[in-house]
């Protein structure tokens, strides 16, 4: 983080190479931020580009009072919301991302992320069936590996709020995974929260190679 702060300071002084290094350092995780929330896979690269173009445009107004990670995630959040509103069949409505989910906005389209195990694929698909705000927290924790304090910093919310969203999101995710596995005839369709957390962590290990090059 000290190196990142130094890069940011250099970038604000006009060092374009420092800016490129800073963007490259956060590019992969911002790619993952979008990957399981898009309606079509080819949108990921465009959303990442939009995010960093806005970061470049705003860098002279960024006061440096927060981390660069929070700065970039705030922009990514806005880009994602605009994308979901523009591409959804409910584009004219006011969308509440604390209640609306990606699959509800566009049920026919799925991300290209896939896992080779039934339970893990159920987790990936069920993540798109929980409210977007919960999906963001769960994916940053289990697919990106952020801690509670890192999540709070990235999202600009208190750690208590992070913990609440994780608890609520896991319960909702558990219900959606159970429904999917039950439809597939699984002998034990309803996982415990502990099992679900382990599956989510396994998803991270299984699918990382699918999108890191984007």
- When comparing pLDDT for 109 and 142, which is higher? 142
Chain segment 11-22, per-residue pLDDT in tens: 878 888 988 888
Report residue 21 as tokens: 């290094």
Asked whether 156 and 129 are in contact (CB, 8 A), the reply is: no
Percentage of the chain modeled with pLDDT above 70: 85
For 192-211, what is each residue's pLDDT tens digit? 888 888 888 888 877 666 55
CA dist., res. 208 & res. 105, Å (int): 26
- Other CB atoms within 10 Å distance of the CB of residue 146: 20
Which two tokens mark 2? 């000290």
Residues in the chain: 214
List the chain domain ranges: 2-211
pLDDT, position 214: 40
Structure tokens at 197: 């957390």
pLDDT of residue 208: 65
Mean pLDDT of 38-57: 89
Predicted pLDDT at 213? 44
User: Binning pLDDT at 50, 70 and 90, where does residue 1 land?
Assistant: very low
The CATH class of 2-211 is mainly alpha
**Given this model, what pLDDT does residue 57 score?**
81
- pLDDT at position 113 is 64
Of the candidates 37, 74, 38, 41, which has an alpha carbon nearest to the alpha carbon of residue 55?
Answer: 74
Give the residue carrying structure tokens 């940011």.
8
Tabulate helix, strand, coil % of the chain (nearest 5).
65, 0, 30
In eight-state DSSP terms, residue 115 is -
pLDDT digits (tens, 9 = 90+) for 141-197: 988 888 999 999 889 899 999 999 999 999 999 999 999 888 887 756 788 888 888
196 versus 114: which is more confidently predicted? 196
What is the value of pTM for the model shown? 0.83
Spatial CA neighbour of 106 closest among 90, 126, 122:
90
Q: What does the mean pLDDT of the chain come to? A: 84
Task: Please choose, from the candidates 51, 168, 132, the residue with its C-alpha nearest in 3D space to the C-alpha of residue 160.
Answer: 168
Query: What dihedral do alpha carbons 153, 8, 143, 82 form, nearest 10°?
Result: 80
CA angle 119/124/127 to nearest 5° reads 120
Q: Which residue has the higher pLDDT, 117 or 51?
A: 51
Q: CB of 210 within 8 A of CB of 130?
A: no
Most confidently predicted of 2-6, 45-49, 87-91: 45-49
């Amino acid at each position: 983080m000290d190196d990142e702060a130094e890069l940011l300071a250099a970038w604000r002084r006009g060092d374009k190479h420092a800016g490129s290094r800073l963007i490259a350092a956060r590019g992969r995780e911002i790619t993952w931020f979008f990957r399981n929330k898009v309606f079509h896979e080819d949108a990921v690269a465009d959303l990442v580009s939009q995010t960093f173009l806005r970061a470049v445009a705003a860098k002279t107004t960024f006061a440096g009072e927060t981390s660069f990670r929070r700065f970039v995630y705030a922009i990514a959040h806005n880009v994602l919301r605009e994308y979901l509103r523009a591409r959804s069949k409910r584009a004219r409505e006011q969308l509440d991302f604390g209640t609306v989910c990606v699959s509800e906005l566009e049920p026919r389209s799925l991300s290209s992320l896939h896992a080779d195990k039934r339970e893990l694929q159920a987790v990936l698909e069920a993540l798109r069936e929980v409210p977007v705000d919960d999906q963001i927290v769960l994916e940053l924790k289990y697919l990106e590996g952020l801690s509670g304090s890192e999540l709070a910093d990235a999202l600009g919310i208190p750690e208590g709020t992070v913990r609440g969203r994780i608890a609520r999101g896991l319960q909702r995710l558990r219900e959606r995974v159970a429904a999917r596995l039950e439809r597939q005839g699984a002998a034990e369709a309803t996982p415990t929260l502990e099992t679900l957390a382990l599956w989510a962590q396994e998803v991270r290990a299984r699918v990382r190679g699918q999108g890191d090059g984007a």
